[in-house]
Structure formats: C-alpha cells, structure tokens
C-alpha cells in the first residue's frame, strides 16, 4: 500500500484519502475526527516530503494526543479535551512526512475488545457490516481494511491491535514493550500498554517501525536501543528456524475450517525449511491468564484515570458539593463497562485486597512469563491462530467465558503483553467470506526476527483481500 502513494503529490493524496475516509466513515463509522488540510498536522508534514512516509495517508487512534485537535479516547468525559502538545509518535510521523487524515474510533478509554463501546457508536467490519471490527483499536483496523488509509496507529494492552487485525484481514504489529514511546498516549494499563500499527503488508509494518521506534526520555519505559532498518533487513528464509505451535490453543478451537487452513500453512512453512514443534503450557496455569490480566489491567486503569473526576479533569457535571460533582461527572461521562472495570480495579487496590488479588495476579503473570521464556529456549517463535472464530456478529450474546476456547484460544495473545514480546497478526484466509489470521510471537527485543517470520508466513499464506462490501 505504501508503494501506491510513494512519490505522489501530497495534496492529491490528501484529497483522495479524505474522500476515502469519509466513505469509510459512512459505511463503518470508524472515524471520530477529520483533519483539515490547513491543520498544522498536515501543513508541518508538507515540509518533510523527503521522509520515509512522505505523502502517505495514515490514521491515529483517538487516544493519541494531537495538539489543537480534540482527543477523546471515545469517552464522553473527555468530550472537551483538546491537547496542548503532540504525542512523541505524532512528532515522528510528521517528521517522516505522513499525512494524518483522521482520529479513529476505539472502545471507550481503550477498554474492550469489540469497538461497540465508543461514545460515537459501534464500528462495523468492512467485510460484513453486521459483524464487529474488534477492539479496542477497531476504527484503525477498519480504516486500513477499507483502503481509506495505508497505515493506522493502534494501542494494544491485551490484543487490541492483533485481534482487530485478524477480524479485518490486515497486518497488526505490536513490537517489544518500550520499543515505541507512549508519551502523549492516554493510558489504559501502564505495564501492559504497547503502541503498534495496522498495515496491509509486513514490509509496510517494518517501515512504520523504523519511523516510530527509538528512545524517548519523556517515557521512562522507553528502551535505549536504536531503530534498525527493519524493512531492508527483512528475510523470509526459514531454514534454521524452529517454530513452536501452541498445542493448548489448537486443542481449544472448534472451527475446523480455521484449523484446516492453519495446518495447511504449517505444512507450507515446513516445506519452506522451518522446523515445526508442538509445545504446551501447563493447562491450569494458562487458564489463569485472562483473570490475571483483568485484575492487573483494571487496577492500573483505576489508578491511571483517577483524575477523570470532573474536578481536576474532564467534563464537569453540576453537584451540591465536590463529592456529588465527581459522582455526577463520572456517572454521566463514563460508560457502564468502564464503571464496572473501575470498580473491579478499585476493589483490587484496596489495601486489604492487594495481597490476595492484585499482587497474586502479578505473581501469576511472572509464572506465565517464565513459562514463555522457557519455550523460547527451544523455539524461535510461537505460532497459533490469532482468533478461534471469524468476527462475531454485533448482536451475538457473550461467549461462554469459562470455556477453553474463550479462556485460551480467544485470549492467548495476552501473553505478548505479559512478556512484552513482539507479536504480529498476519491474514491467513477466509471462512464464510470473513478473514481469519494467524499470529507469531518471538522473545522480547527480537523485533526483526518477528518481522522475518511474519514475512515468511505472509508469503506462504498468499492472502488476497476480497472486494465485496469493502
């Protein structure tokens, strides 16, 4: 997709992409805010048209701060928030010449996996408008899938880039924790949040990482490693590479079509030189992944968003005293899912509960991280389907949350956030006209290896986007 825009006239590219973004919004409701051509985000980028993303239209998830442009994280309590500074990644994108077209829809405060909770309404899947796009970065995924933009920024706390990418048939890449600065990103869970990208190819994801990566002293979690020429170094040769198939995930999937296409891919990877091993986690330990994630993420979210009270920050509702102002502001400004998660998080942070809940979840996280690192002693990458089903219908009742398919196959991508590992979703094929995908995860700091393996998977899958509704 980047090649399509390369060396194009910036204003022409903007005008075409602007129309495409409006069309995408009309169909899928994936845009929160459009960026005018005369806005500094565009005008400053025009001074950098020798950059690696020159004249390429992109989207930003609406939790990325943009100076003098509303940033709401799709939450009513932030309806009046206009940042006074740009996030670090915005500065990097401008300096690379990228045309920031829109702020994309997301689950409220990035908490959710459906993109049904945005204050602007649900985001539809470009392959089937009765289905979800996935979340929380569903607007970004839909915009890339519809062809409106060539790349979109997302954030990923549990699988919020990689699962929407699977549902929408695009590449979704979450690099190593700290590889991309989070300065200026409205947080969810500080120890789990990653910034990443949606693209239509692994090579475009590699180019994007070159632009976005690098040490940022304004983000204390930013790692001190210089970016590499990831795209130029891409190598899809699988000889000498060992790929571990996560048996727990495979055994938990009921969809035979997904399993058949995944197994066919594995056969191709083996034929192309890869050594294939089936590996297993302790089943009981793996089933603690999701509940541990919920406790850690929601406890950290409760602390991160304690300032959204209508007094210090956010839209203020009237009240007889400060307590009532806070109650009224939060009741009006926060959706029911967010209020529920804040209650869970606050309960876990009560001093009497920290040892038996929050700290216990952190200890379980360490056991899962250790188990994953032990597997990486024997394999170069861990591979499994990115989701056990195609994108669910918008009106589908909640899945059986105690089933192995939900606890394991639907949520194993959280391992990438617990470990901080690079992890990338690559489209694989179709089931009933909707995309299915696979995901490869490698050990922390091995972003080049992750991209290399993804490139090999991309070539083996031969995935081609469908036309149809898109």
| Catalytic center residues | 61, 136, 160
Q: Residue 380: helix, strand or coil by DSSP?
A: coil
Q: What is the 3-state secondary structure (H, E, C) of 65-80?
A: CECCECCCCCCHHHCC
Cα separation, 233 vs 224, in Å, equals 20
Among 69, 68, 31, 81, residue whose Cα is nearest residue 305: 81
Query: 169 with 427: CB under 8 angstroms?
Result: yes
DSSP for 412-467 reads TTHHHHHHT--EEEEEEEEETTEEEEEEEE--TT-HHHHHHHHHHHHHHH------
Q: Would you say 107 and 135 are in contact if contact means Cβ atoms under 8 Å apart?
A: yes
Handedness of CA 289, 293, 89, 101 (dihedral sign): positive
Q: Are 254 and 405 in contact (CB under 8 A)?
A: yes
CB 162 within 8 A of CB 172: yes
Q: Tell me how far the alpha carbon of residue 205 is from its chain's centroid.
A: 13
């Amino acid at each position: 997709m980047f090649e399509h825009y390369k060396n194009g006239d910036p204003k022409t590219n903007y005008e075409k992409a602007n129309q495409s973004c409006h069309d995408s919004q009309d169909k899928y409701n994936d845009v929160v805010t459009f960026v005018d051509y005369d806005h500094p985000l565009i005008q400053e980028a025009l001074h950098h048209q020798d950059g690696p993303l020159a004249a390429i239209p992109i989207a930003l998830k609406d939790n990325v701060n943009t100076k003098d442009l509303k940033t709401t994280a799709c939450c009513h309590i932030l309806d009046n928030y206009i940042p006074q500074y740009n996030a670090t990644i915005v500065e990097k994108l401008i300096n690379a010449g990228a045309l920031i077209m829109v702020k994309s829809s997301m689950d409220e405060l990035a908490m959710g996996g459906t993109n049904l909770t945005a204050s602007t309404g649900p985001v539809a899947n470009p392959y089937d408008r009765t289905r979800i796009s996935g979340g929380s970065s569903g607007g970004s995924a839909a915009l890339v899938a519809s062809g409106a933009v060539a790349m979109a920024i997302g954030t990923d706390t549990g699988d919020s880039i990689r699962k929407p990418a699977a549902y929408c048939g695009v590449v979704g890449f979450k690099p190593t924790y700290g590889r991309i600065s989070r300065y200026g990103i409205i947080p969810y869970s500080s120890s789990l949040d990653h910034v990443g990208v949606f693209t239509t190819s692994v090579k475009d994801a590699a180019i994007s990482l070159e632009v976005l990566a690098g040490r940022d002293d304004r983000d204390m979690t930013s790692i001190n490693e210089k970016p590499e020429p990831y795209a130029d170094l891409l190598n899809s040769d699988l000889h000498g590479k060992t790929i571990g198939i996560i048996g727990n995930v495979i055994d938990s999937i009921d969809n035979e079509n997904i399993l058949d296409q995944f197994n066919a891919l594995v056969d191709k990877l083996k034929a192309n030189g890869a050594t294939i091993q089936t590996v297993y986690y302790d089943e009981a330990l793996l089933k603690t992944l999701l509940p541990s994630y919920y406790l850690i993420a929601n406890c950290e979210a409760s602390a991160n968003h304690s300032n959204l009270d209508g007094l210090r920050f956010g839209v203020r509702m009237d009240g007889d005293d400060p307590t009532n102002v806070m109650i009224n502001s939060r009741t009006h400004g926060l959706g029911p899912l967010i209020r529920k998660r804040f209650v869970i998080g606050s309960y876990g942070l009560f001093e009497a509960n920290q040892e038996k809940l929050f700290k216990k979840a952190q200890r379980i996280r360490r056991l899962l991280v250790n188990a994953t690192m032990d597997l990486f002693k024997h394999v170069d990458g861990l591979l499994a389907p990115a989701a056990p089903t195609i994108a669910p219908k918008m009106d589908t009742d909640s899945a059986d949350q105690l089933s192995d398919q939900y606890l394991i196959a639907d949520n194993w991508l959280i391992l990438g956030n617990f470990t901080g590992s690079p992890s990338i979703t690559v489209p694989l094929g179709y089931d009933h006209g909707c995309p299915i995908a696979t995901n490869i995860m490698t050990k922390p700091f091995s972003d080049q290896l992750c991209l290399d393996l993804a490139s090999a998977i991309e070539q083996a899958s031969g995935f081609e986007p469908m036309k149809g509704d898109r």
